[in-house]
C-alpha cells in the first residue's frame, strides 16, 4: 500500500520560458495527477500576425546515452489514444493524458511551426541532478532545431566555464543555458544538488562564561552538511569516551567530576577521505567550585616532646584555595573557645611541648566560598616519652660503669647512695 500511495501522484513539468520575439510565446502550467486518472495539460501559444501554423508537436525529455533529447509523444511506448491533442492551430495547445501511469512523469515541451518562422525552446539538463561531492556532472543544452546554436552556461547568474566538472559543495545551485550573444534567449532553470559530508562541526557550551558547580550546562553540536545531519547523527564524547547521542546534551546540577574535554561527532552517511564522521574541536568544560574535602595531616605521625611537628591542611577547590586559618582548643583548658594560632597551608610547631596539645582545625577560603576541616586531636605519646627516659638512663649507667667499673675500690671511700 505504501508503494502504491507513493506513485499515486504523477508530476508533469511544463516549462513556460522560451524564445520571446514580439508576440512569440508559449504558456504552460505544471500539473500533478493521480495514477489512473486522466489529466489535461493546459497550454496556450501565440505568434505574430501574418503567420499560419503549419504543424504542432508535443515532446517529452528523455535521457539517452548521457544526453537529454526531446522525443515526440507519438514515438513513446504508450497505448493508443494515451496522448490526445486537444488544442488547435490558433493558440490552444492543450494535451490530454489518459489513464496516467508512473512512466508518464517528467518534463513535456510544446513546439509549433508557422509559414514564416518556427518557435523552439532551449532545453537544459544536468546529469545526474543529485550527486555526491567529487562525482562528475555533465550539463547539456538542446534547442530542438536542426542546427544547434552556440550556447553558454550560467550558474546563479555567473558564467560557467566548463559543462563537465567534478562537483564540489559550492557547485550546488540553479543552472541555465542561453544562446551565446543572445543571453535573453535562455532555458529554464535546472537544479544541481550536491551531497557532502559534514563540515564546520562545532560544539557550543552554554552558558559561555564561568560555570559553577550546581549550574545547568547545555552542550550543542552544529554542522553544515547536505543532506543535513539528523538528530541521531550527532554523538558527544568526554575525554574520548562516548557520552550520548543527539544534537543537544543537558547537564543539570553540574559537578566537578564532569569537568573535562568534550567534542562532538557528526555524520550523514556521506564519506569524506575514508571517514563516515567528522569531529569538532575539543572544548574544555571547567567547573568551578568552593573548597571541599578539607582534611588535616600531621608529620611525623608519632609526636613526642621537643620534636618539630608540621600540620598540613589540604582541600579540593577550583580555583585553588588561597587562604588557610588555623585554630586550636586546648585539651587542658576548661574553655570551649577556639583560638587562632596561625595561617597558611602548613602550621609548624618547631619544638613540641605540652602546651601545643589540643584540638586543631583549619578553615579554607577561596573566591567562591569557604569550608572547614573536622577537628583533629594533637597529643604527645606517653609511651614514647617513657621509653625515651629509660634509654637516657640506661645510657648514663653504661657510661658511668665504663668510667668506674669498681666504685667500691675507688680513692673516694664514700659509699654510693644510689643503687643501679
pLDDT digits 0-9 by tens, 319-376: 999 999 999 997 666 667 899 999 999 999 999 998 899 999 999 999 999 999 999 9
Domains and CATH numbers, the chain: 2-193 (2.60.40.10), 203-285 (2.60.40.10), 290-382 (2.60.40.10)
Question: Three-state SS string across 269-325, please?
Answer: CCCECCECCEECCCEEECEEEEEEEEEEEEECCCCCCCCCEEEEEEEEEECCCCEEE
Closest CA to 154 of 107, 195, 193, 189: 189
Q: What is the pLDDT of residue 402?
A: 34
Helix %, strand %, coil % for the chain, to 5? 10, 50, 40
Q: pTM of the full predicted structure?
A: 0.55
Cell numbers 543539570 correspond to 252
More confident call, 146 vs 168: 168
Q: What would you report as the CA-atom Rg of the chain, rounded to the nearest whole angstrom?
A: 47
Q: Which of 64-68, 106-110, 376-380, 408-412 has the lowest mean pLDDT?
A: 408-412
Closest CA to 367 of 212, 250, 223: 212
In what side-by-side order are the strands of the sheet with 309-318?
A: 211-212, 287-299, 309-318, 346-349
Q: How far apart are CA 143 and CA 393, in angstroms?
A: 124
Asked whether the CA dihedral 32, 35, 37, 38 is positive or negative, the reply is positive
More confident call, 350 vs 383: 350
The band of 180, judged by pLDDT with boundaries at 50, 70 and 90, is confident
Distances (CA, A) of 2 to 5, 12, 346: 5, 22, 77
Q: How far apart are CA 182 and CA 408, in angstroms?
A: 143
- Between the two ends of the chain, the Cα-to-Cα distance in Å is 115
Q: What is the pLDDT of residue 335?
A: 67
The band of 260, judged by pLDDT with boundaries at 50, 70 and 90, is very high
Asked whether the CA dihedral 72, 74, 79, 80 is positive or negative, the reply is positive
Q: How far apart are CA 346 and CA 362, in angstroms?
A: 10
Closest CA to 226 of 167, 285, 185, 180: 167
pLDDT digits 0-9 by tens, 26-41: 887 777 888 888 889 8
- List the grid coordinates of 109: 515541451
Closest CA to 389 of 302, 306, 298: 306
Q: What is the pLDDT of residue 124?
A: 85
Q: Which of 49-58, 74-83, 320-329 has the lowest mean pLDDT?
A: 49-58
Residues in the chain: 420
Query: Cis link prior to 204 (omega < 30° from 0)?
Result: no
Q: How far apart are CA 280 and CA 219, in angstroms?
A: 12
Q: Which residues of 309-347 are buried (b: 16+ CB within 10 A; e: fewer)?
A: bebbbbbbbbeebeebbbbbbeeeeeeeebeebbeebeb
Q: Which residues of 49-86 are buried (b: 16+ CB within 10 A; e: fewer)?
A: eebebeebbbbbbeeeeeebbbeebeeeebeeebbebe
Cell numbers 546515452 correspond to 65
Cα dihedral 284, 285, 291, 296, rounded to 10, equals -50
Closest CA to 44 of 104, 100, 86, 81: 86
DSSP class of residue 74 equals G
Amino acid at each position: 500500500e505504501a508503494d502504491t500511495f507513493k506513485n499515486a501522484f504523477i508530476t508533469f513539468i511544463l516549462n513556460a520560458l522560451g524564445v520571446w520575439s514580439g508576440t512569440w510565446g508559449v504558456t504552460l502550467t505544471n500539473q500533478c495527477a493521480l495514477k489512473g486518472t486522466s489529466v489535461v495539460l493546459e497550454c496556450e501559444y501565440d505568434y505574430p500576425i501574418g503567420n499560419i501554423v503549419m504543424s504542432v508537436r508535443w515532446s517529452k525529455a528523455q535521457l539517452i546515452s548521457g544526453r537529454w533529447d526531446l522525443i515526440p509523444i507519438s514515438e513513446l511506448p504508450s497505448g493508443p489514444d494515451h496522448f490526445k491533442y486537444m488544442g488547435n492551430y490558433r493558440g490552444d495547445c492543450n494535451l490530454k493524458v489518459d489513464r496516467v501511469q508512473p512512466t508518464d512523469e517528467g518534463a513535456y515541451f510544446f513546439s509549433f511551426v508557422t509559414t514564416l518562422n518556427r518557435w523552439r525552446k532551449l532545453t537544459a539538463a544536468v546529469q545526474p541532478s543529485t550527486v555526491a561531492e567529487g562525482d562528475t556532472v555533465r550539463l547539456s543544452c538542446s534547442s530542438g532545431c536542426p542546427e544547434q546554436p552556440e550556447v553558454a552556461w550560467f550558474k546563479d547568474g555567473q558564467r560557467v566555464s566548463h559543462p563537465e566538472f567534478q562537483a564540489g559543495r559550492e557547485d550546488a545551485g540553479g543552472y541555465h543555458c542561453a544562446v551565446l550573444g543572445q543571453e535573453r534567449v535562455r532555458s529554464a532553470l535546472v537544479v544541481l544538488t550536491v551531497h557532502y559530508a559534514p563540515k564546520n562541526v562545532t560544539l557550543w557550551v552554554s552558558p559561555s562564561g564561568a560555570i559553577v558547580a550546581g549550574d545547568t550546562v547545555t552542550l550543542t553540536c552544529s554542522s553544515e552538511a547536505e543532506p543535513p545531519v539528523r538528530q541521531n547523527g550527532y554523538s558527544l564524547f568526554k575525554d574520548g569516551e562516548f557520552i550520548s547521542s543527539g544534537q543537544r546534551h543537558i547537564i543539570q546540577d553540574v559537578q566537578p567530576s564532569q569537568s573535562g574535554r568534550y567534542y562532538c561527532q557528526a555524520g550523514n552517511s556521506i564519506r569524506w577521505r575514508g571517514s563516515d564522521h567528522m569531529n569538532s574541536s575539543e572544548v574544555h568544560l571547567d567547573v568551578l567550585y568552593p573548597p571541599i574535602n578539607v582534611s588535616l595531616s600531621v608529620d611525623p605521625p608519632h609526636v613526642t616532646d621537643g620534636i618539630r611537628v608540621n600540620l598540613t591542611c589540604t582541600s579540593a577547590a577550583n580555583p585553588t584555595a588561597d587562604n588557610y586559618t588555623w585554630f586550636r582548643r586546648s585539651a587542658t583548658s576548661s574553655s570551649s573557645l577556639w583560638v587562632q594560632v596561625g595561617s597558611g597551608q602548613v602550621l609548624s610547631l618547631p619544638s613540641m611541648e605540652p602546651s601545643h596539645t589540643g584540638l586543631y582545625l583549619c578553615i579554607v577560603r577561596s573566591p567562591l566560598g569557604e569550608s572547614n576541616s573536622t577537628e583533629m586531636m594533637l597529643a604527645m605519646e606517653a609511651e614514647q616519652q617513657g621509653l625515651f627516659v629509660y634509654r637516657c638512663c640506661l645510657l648514663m649507667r653504661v657510661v658511668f660503669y665504663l668510667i668506674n667499673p669498681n666504685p667500691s675500690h675507688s680513692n673516694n671511700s664514700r659509699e654510693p647512695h644510689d643503687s643501679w
